[in-house]
A = this chain, B = another copy of it.
Amino acid sequence: MMSAIARFALGIVLTFVAASTAFTQTDPLPSWNDGPTKQAIVSFVEKVTDKEGKDYVPPEDRIATFDNDGNLWAEKPVYFQLLFAIDRVKALAPEHPEWNDKQPFKAVLEGDMKTLAASGEKGVAELVMATHAGMSTDEFQQIVSDWLATAEHPRFKRKYTSLVYQPMLELLDYLRDNSFTTYIVSGGGIEFVRNFSEPVYGIPPAQVVGSSIKTKYEVIDGKPTLTRLPEMNFINDKEGKPVGINQHIGQRPIFASGNSDGDYQMLDWTTAGEGPRFGLLLHHTDAEREYAYDRDSSVGRLDKALDDAPGKGWVVVDMKNDWKVVFPPQE
Interface residues of A (CB under 8 A from B): 2-3, 5-10, 12-13, 16, 60, 137, 181, 190-191, 194, 198, 204-208, 212, 215-219, 223-224, 226, 233, 239-240, 242-243, 246-251, 265, 268-269, 272
The one of B13, B191, B216, B265 that contacts A250, using a Cβ cutoff of 8 Å: B191
Q: Decide if A2 touches B6 in the complex (CB within 8 Å).
A: no
Q: Decide if B265 touches A217 in the complex (CB within 8 Å).
A: yes
Q: Decide if B137 touches A246 in the complex (CB within 8 Å).
A: yes
Q: Decide if A217 touches B190 in the complex (CB within 8 Å).
A: no
What are the residues of chain B within 8 A of A243 when measuring CB–CB? 215-217, 226
- 29 examples of A-B residue contacts, CB within 8 angstroms: A2-B13, A3-B9, A3-B12, A6-B9, A6-B10, A8-B9, A9-B9, A10-B13, A60-B198, A190-B247, A190-B250, A204-B250, A206-B207, A206-B250, A206-B251, A208-B250, A215-B243, A217-B240, A217-B242, A217-B265, A217-B269, A219-B268, A223-B272, A224-B272, A226-B242, A226-B243, A226-B246, A226-B269, A248-B248
CB distance from A148 to the nearest CB of B (A): 16
A contact patch SS: helix
- Closest chain B residue to A8 by CB distance? B9
Interface core residue of A3, A218, A233, A250 (most chain B CB under 10 Å): A250
CB distance from A219 to the nearest CB of B (A): 8
What are the residues of chain B within 8 A of A217 when measuring CB–CB? 239-240, 242-243, 265, 269
CB distance from A7 to the nearest CB of B (A): 8
What are the residues of chain B within 8 A of A242 when measuring CB–CB? 217, 224, 226
CB distance from A233 to the nearest CB of B (A): 8
What are the residues of chain B within 8 A of A206 when measuring CB–CB? 181, 206-207, 248-251
The one of B5, B215, B233 that contacts A5, using a Cβ cutoff of 8 Å: B5
Complex CA–CA separation, A215 to B239 (angstroms) = 10
Q: Decide if A249 touches B205 in the complex (CB within 8 Å).
A: yes
Q: Decide if B60 touches A204 in the complex (CB within 8 Å).
A: yes
Complex CA–CA separation, A242 to B246 (angstroms) = 20
What are the residues of chain B within 8 A of A250 when measuring CB–CB? 190-191, 194, 204-206, 208
The one of B226, B246, B251, B268 that contacts A215, using a Cβ cutoff of 8 Å: B246
What are the residues of chain B within 8 A of A218 when measuring CB–CB? 239
Interface core residue of A226, A240, A251 (most chain B CB under 10 Å): A226
Complex CA–CA separation, A125 to B140 (angstroms) = 35
